[in-house]
Amino acid sequence: MIVLKFGGTSVGSAARLGEAATIVAAQPQPRLVVVSAAGGVTNLLLEAARAAAHHETARVAELVAAIRDRHAGVGTAVADEDERVLANSQLDELHTALDAALADVAAAGTLSNRDSDRIVATGEKALSVLMAATLRANGAPAVHLFADSVIATDDRFGAARPDRVRTRAQAEAVVRPLLDAGQTVVLTGFIGGAPDAATTTLGRGGSDYSATLIGAAVDAVEVQIWTDVPGVLSADPRQVDDARVVPQISYDEAQELAHFGAKVLHPRTIRPAVARGIPVRILSTFAPDEAGTLVTREAAGDQVKAVTALRGLILLTIDVPELEDLAAAAAQVFRVLHEDGIEVVSVAQASSRRRMTYLIDAVSGGCPRLQERLAAELRELDVDVTCTEDVAVVAAVGQGAAAQPAALAQFLAVLSRSAIPVLAASQQTSNVALVAAVPAALAERAVALLHETFIRPQFASARGRRPRRSDLLAESMRVG
Ligand code: ADP
Ligand code: ASP
Ligand code: MG
């Protein structure tokens, strides 16, 4: 049993959907396909939901028309008249339900996370219909399934957490019989079902997570993430133009990369695969014959494999006057972060043992609100709270490499030589990533320099030298 997940670009047009269906048909049965919404449609749906809440009727109509058009365009991939008619009527039902959901939001005059999830799910649902129809039109028995009856979650709408036990039971009951009957099952990514059966979502980019969740639930032998890049690269190719495919990485490395901003994998993707030792492969629908990246338990070598950046963070520094109050202060800070639902990216205790630094997701109200709240909650401990916005973390990921003091020294030296202020640094306890907080505006430069330092030297031994970002190199040498 293989799971194949296709991202937004890979199902974003009739041509791409056709290519994806060809890739599916080339895999042996049994197989389970997970689809995202067509690229851009999730954003259109969210915009329509917000416009409905603000009673912007004309804008809602315009957005809904754009969504219908997009689906109609992608639907031309269905190369069989009967299948196309059937798919169009199923799409009509989804679009009618969308209109009703938007009308409910307009009537309420506010957009709840529950309504938002119900609305955005339309994108994945439409693509599951279209993928199944395309496969059938090409001669492969296929059915679509909406994941609200398969992936069981809690009711944290917008960022639901899966219930693996219920998901496994539902997969056995709903998915397994279809697979046993020789069907290719096409499941919507991104969405799940709350205990009251309402539609939930797993968070933006969550279809990767859906793929490993369902893969673990049906004991898949492999999960393939088909996307628009030829694997996990040594850096985001949009930022570093000579980034290269990393042929093999460990679960830990993939997890750290995703955690620190490599968008190619949703941050939670790896965990379900680790639990059952399922290999995950990242492959390109634009180059389906290339080997891509294989993610398994073992690391290949102890060098830095990739560098990444995560933006949109806040750096909180708490100075505690009395060492004996440290634990109490930490407990209070975590309580506040937990109560406000703020994600913590990393925590460190800095050189002075009374200083704690927290890298957290940006929050509404930003530093002023957070500082006020923490100062009030921690008043008795007389702590000093400093808060910096527009922070990014840059990370150099490589199992083993991060454990070497020389690598940490080199990592910090590169940044300081280039006048990139390191706001906080830590060697992750996992020894998989070297991490520094830097001003967000300098993150791209930091990534480029770290790529030059840690990755470029590996190219020479791999296969000749590659074109270099000479501008950046020259700049770094000038500063150095
Ligand atoms: P999909 O729609 O298929 O899920 P995404 O846009 O979510 O695709 O993820 C793929 C994108 O991730 C790539 O186009 C690339 O710009 C970005 N990316 C960021 N870091 C990396 C990296 N280290 N390796 C590969 N891609 C990366
Ligand atoms: N369509 C969803 C999003 O845009 C989920 C995904 O693509 O993985 O966030
Ligand atoms: Mg994605």
Calculate how far, in angstroms, residue 475's C-alpha sits from the geometric centre of ligand 3. Answer: 33
State residue 134 phi and psi, 5-degree precision: -65, -45
Ligand 1 site, residue 8, Cβ cutoff 6 A: yes
Amino acid at 362: A
Give CA angle at 202 (201, 207), nearest 5°.
Answer: 100
pLDDT tens per residue across span 127-178: 999 999 999 999 999 999 999 999 999 999 999 999 999 999 999 999 999 9
| Identity of the amino acid at 244 | R
Distant-in-sequence, close-in-space partners of 43: CB < 8 Å, separation ≥ 6? none
What per-residue confidence (pLDDT) applies to 462?
A: 66
Asked if residue 42 has its Cβ within 6 Å of ligand 2, the reply is yes
- Judge whether 1 and 31 are in contact, CB under 8 Å: yes
- Residue to mutate, 207, 228, 265, ligand 2, most ligand atoms under 8 Å from C-beta: 207
Residue 21: exposure state from Cβ atoms within 10 A (0-12, 13-18, ≥19) = buried
Atom index in ligand 1 nearest the CA of residue 10 equals 3
- Find out whether the beta carbon of 35 lies less than 6 Å from any atom of ligand 2: no
For residue 231, which atom of ligand 1 is closest to its CA? 25
- What is the rounded CA–CA span in Å between residue 400 and residue 259? 18
Task: Please give the distance, rounded to the nearest whole angstrom, from the Cα atom of residue 435 to the centre of ligand 2.
Answer: 27
Atom of ligand 2 nearest to the CA of 208: 8
Pick the residue whose CA is nearest to atom 12 on ligand 1. 264
Pocket test for ligand 1, best of 227, 253, 394, 451 (most atoms within 8 A of CB): 227
- Cβ proximity of 35 and 207 under 8 Å: yes
Closest residue by Cα to atom 6, ligand 2, is: 205
**227: closest CA among 7, 34, 3?**
7
304-316 residues labelled b (16+ CB within 10 A) or e (exposed):
bbbbbbbeebbbb
Q: What is the pLDDT of residues 291-346, one digit of tens each?
A: 999 999 998 888 999 999 999 999 999 999 888 888 899 999 999 999 988 989 88
The model's confidence at residue 16, banded by pLDDT at 50, 70 and 90, is very high
- Which atom, in ligand 1's list, is nearest to the CA of 282? 25
Helices and strands, counts by H and E, the chain: 16, 16
* Residue in 308, 448, 324 with CA at minimum distance from that of residue 382: 324
Task: Report which of 131, 103, 101 is spatially closest to residue 114, judged by C-alpha positions.
Answer: 101
The answer to whether residue 405 scores a pLDDT higher than 90 is no
CB 39 near ligand 2, within 6 Å: no
List strands edge to edge, sheet with 424-427.
344-349, 355-361, 306-319, 384-397, 433-439, 424-427
Q: State in Å: Cα 235 to ligand 1 middle.
A: 10
| Lowest mean per-residue pLDDT among 43-47, 105-109, 293-297, 422-426 | 422-426
Q: Closest ligand 1 atom, CA of 234?
A: 23
Mean predicted confidence (pLDDT) in 83-92: 97
Residue nearest to atom 5 of ligand 2 (CA): 205
The pLDDT score that the predictor gives to residue 464 is 42
Q: Which two tokens stand for residue 60?
A: 């809602």
Identify which of 419, 415, 407 has the alpha carbon closest to the alpha carbon of residue 446: 415
| Closest ligand, as measured to the CA of 189 | 2
DSSP state for residue 298 in the 8-state scheme: S
| Structure token pair of residue 301 | 């070598």
Q: Which of 35, 70, 190 to mutate to test the pocket of ligand 2 (most atoms within 8 A of CB)?
A: 190
Of 69-73, 224-228, 296-300, which range is least confident? Answer: 296-300
**What percentage of the chain reaches a pLDDT higher than 70?**
94
Q: What is the pLDDT of residues 273-297, one digit of tens each?
A: 998 999 999 999 999 999 999 999 9
Mean pLDDT (the chain) is 92
What Rg, from alpha-carbon coordinates, does the chain have? 24
Residue 206 CB less than 6 A away from ligand 2? yes
Among 165, 200, 214, CA closest to 34: 214
Helices 366-377, 326-339: inter-axial angle, 10-degree rounding = 130
Closest residue to atom 4 of ligand 1, CA basis: 7
Kindly state the helix (H) or strand (E) to which residue 447 belongs, with its residue range: helix 443-450
Q: Which residue has its alpha carbon closest to ligand 1 atom 15?
A: 236
pLDDT of residue 444: 96
